Structure 1
């Protein structure tokens, strides 16, 4: 069994990004990322702080627009429009979830596609499904980068994705299909989850349910990627029973230290990509 070490790979990517930032600065361009944070959700605040710190470490400009939960949708859309027009901001990220009185879809669609470094805009999602160049959501993109780093060829492999969210499951499916994998996608209405996971060469899970995937649900030699983040007895754990599943897997991601660090690394890469594209299109 080998560990797919996202922490180690993310540090390698950050060093590469840092060099690219230095090159862009020589041309007078400082890659800039704006983050919109609404409310005081502790988890969201932590994620935003981590993203800002990561930007600063690689030399990017980063700004966080914080708003109270009472902000109106109109006010939020007005801020997005302002950021869209700002030539010094190359990437715009809306930290989710948003308060219930705000239409999340409407807000995400308001982000300029060329600044959509989270890859959530329908324009980018559509291009992703078609296999065209686009901004892909950072978490599934990070999983693909792990496969690349460890020379895991997905062509022809049977892959089971557990979770069908717009943020992870659906874009994960698109990236895998584009890599010529045969993809089975499961969700809360799937009747016999084990029947799907048992026959898969690769199992990717991200639903937020501790120990959802147990050893009897994977075949010997399977590659297991755990995207889940859960808190159990004060400890961070994934959706996979790591201790027992790792005894059967050929490769497996730990939680923490697997996919999590890759998400932020991919955000940095997407922001660099956005800065370069906007430079070309000036």
Structure 2
């Protein structure tokens, strides 16, 4: 599976590099972080590195955890005139502002998600797009219709928008969450299973069969190691059947932050 991820990554990156050369408008991104979350540091560093690789501007604004208020974040959003994202998680009950679609690079705002529901979206949440890329590589770009997909997780960032996008593509979608009776589900009926709950061990690879595509979106730290939501037992499934963590969905997600920023610039010039 790692080789598949690498192939998708290199092809998408080459495509984005080509787009940048044809744009007449500069691509800029502002990333806002609050506090000193270790995981956020890694994600932000990866995003900045991608922008640097293409010679694009990526501003990183770090705010103090103790002194930052919701008003501070809302003011930054109100004054933004180019793509901006608020790195999650945010501390102290702070929430990412509801950004207008024109600058919503993460695709989390109500305007962008409303367009998704109506099938009008140009921007998908980055992890959703990364998941769609992996399914396309495995099943074929035009083979979503009728595909039986289980989505485990109901977040506004992954689970809900992914289910909607799959429905838009005429897949047959079953939605589950951490309160579902997952032990009673016959997982063998699905072509694709996407697990995105943020809870390690909510499912394990012994519940799946060869031939299925298993996409593990979760990132958890267990005993000092990064692991996904799926618990692995040796000798159950070939590594080719399940996306790796780290180096799987997350790697492509960072790439789509860049891709969405470019799409927003393209839309603004039409």
* Structure 1: gaps spanning 5 or more residues: none
- Does 2:97 correspond to 1:108? yes
- How big is the shift at 1:236? 2.0
SS of 1:159's equivalent? strand
Equivalent of 2:217 in 227, 242, 250:
227
- How big is the shift at 1:154? 2.5
SS of 2:230's equivalent? coil
- How big is the shift at 1:8? 3.4
Residues 50-100 of structure 1: CA distance to partner in whole angstroms, max 9, x if unpaired? 1111111122211011111121222221122221xx3xx3x1111112222
- Does 2:27 correspond to 1:31? yes
SS of 2:269's equivalent? helix
> Is contact 1:55-1:61 (8 Å) kept?
yes
SS of 2:203's equivalent? coil
- Does 2:59 correspond to 1:63? yes
- How big is the shift at 1:243? 5.0
Equivalent of 2:110 in 105, 111, 122:
122
> Is contact 2:209-2:237 (8 Å) kept?
no
SS of 1:108's equivalent? coil
SS of 1:270's equivalent? helix
Give TM-score, length-normalised by structure 2: 0.90
Aligned equivalents of 2:60, 2:197: Cα separation in 1 = 28
Report the CA distance shift for 1:66/1:165 in structure 2 as closer, same or farther (over 3 A). Answer: same
> Is contact 1:199-1:218 (8 Å) kept?
no
Equivalent of 1:78 in 71, 75, 78:
75
Report the CA distance shift for 1:193/1:94 in structure 2 as closer, same or farther (over 3 A). Answer: farther
RMSD over aligned Cα atoms: 2.1
- How big is the shift at 1:114? 0.9
Report the CA distance shift for 1:249/1:234 in structure 2 as closer, same or farther (over 3 A). Answer: closer
- How big is the shift at 1:124? 0.9
- Does 2:245 correspond to 1:237? no
The answer for the alignment partner of 1:95 in structure 2 is 87
Aligned equivalents of 2:170, 2:234: Cα separation in 1 = 30
Report the CA distance shift for 1:126/1:246 in structure 2 as closer, same or farther (over 3 A). Answer: farther
The answer for the alignment partner of 1:18 in structure 2 is 17
Report the CA distance shift for 1:142/1:246 in structure 2 as closer, same or farther (over 3 A). Answer: farther
Give TM-score, length-normalised by structure 1: 0.87
> Is contact 1:207-1:239 (8 Å) kept?
yes
Residues 210-236 of structure 1: CA distance to partner in whole angstroms, max 9, x if unpaired? 333223422342111111112233322
Report the CA distance shift for 1:15/1:195 in structure 2 as closer, same or farther (over 3 A). Answer: same
Residues 86-141 of structure 1: CA distance to partner in whole angstroms, max 9, x if unpaired? 3xx3x111111222243x1xx431x2211101010111111112211232110011
* Structure 2: gaps spanning 5 or more residues: none
The answer for the alignment partner of 2:135 in structure 1 is 147
List 4+ stretches of structure 1 deviating above 3 A.
241-246, 248-251
The answer for the alignment partner of 1:183 in structure 2 is 173
